[in-house]
Structure 1
């Protein structure tokens, strides 16, 4: 619940200051990068060198990803390939022998939503909710794998080369609620650079 409230706070702060893009570096497909200001909308990167400039729209055709950075904190996003759909811009949670990607969405469920004079949603009944999907990918793989859907089956198959991870899945120490911990553990204790 606390996480949802924090995400809502960030969401409303971003709505209030949407004319100010966040400090970021855009990374192009040739691995070059440029520092400036950016935001993400509808699977596209809107980037400008100076805050007062007009933003240019970039997609996976030319951009590899984006790194937001400010106040000693960074948040990385990359376009990742899916087997049956176009690449999607996802947050990079962990990088290692297995990379972990997160796709999170906040939405309003139930009740009636009205928009007040300041264009902020007001609601009667219902609640804000968040959905998350997690994807994993090794450097040698072309496409990401949805690890949250059918968690036990897919996680055991994907991490089948590590008995410690399988044991922790069987003992319910790794579940779809702590996928991050499982990938961190795998990268630390099981994975090898040869994979």
Structure 2
């Protein structure tokens, strides 16, 4: 698509631009679903969706959608296999704070393992995870120090992801950075604040790690 003049201008440094492999947008998956429902429930939901598309008129759009859902079912089964390599079973919902973070991490890891990491955001998960952590704290299952440690390990895991990138990408972004965008705080549609104790745990982790 580039003309000879464009290529010369780019090569000489007159203009710069993002490498072709760099995603121009942001993909923010709802990774909370893995924690909330477990993978088996998500797979069954996709099977039901595919079954609902057994209609009398099968046109191009229906065929494409059925193919996409089939791919999603395969991907969810692979996600279960990914967790099993770590000795964990994410078939069902998370039952405590530790599992909630682990299940969420696997959802994110499954999404980014085939990507260059340029445009894969995490979303707003700190407020969501606070529900599980607060429940375990009130039940006496964990202490505040252990809750902070769970968040510390979660952030460290997100930072340890290693991407396979093209030389052009590394020329532009040295140091193999990752863009794991987390939305902290904010306001709900009903006017309630989304700031929780876990919002401050995330900030404390970032202050500590630098």
Specify the TM-score bucket, using the shorter chain as the normaliser.
Answer: under 0.3
Q: Which has the higher contact order (CA 8 A, sep 6+)?
A: 2
Compare the two structures and name the one with the higher strand fraction.
1
* TM-score calculated relative to the size of structure 2: 0.19
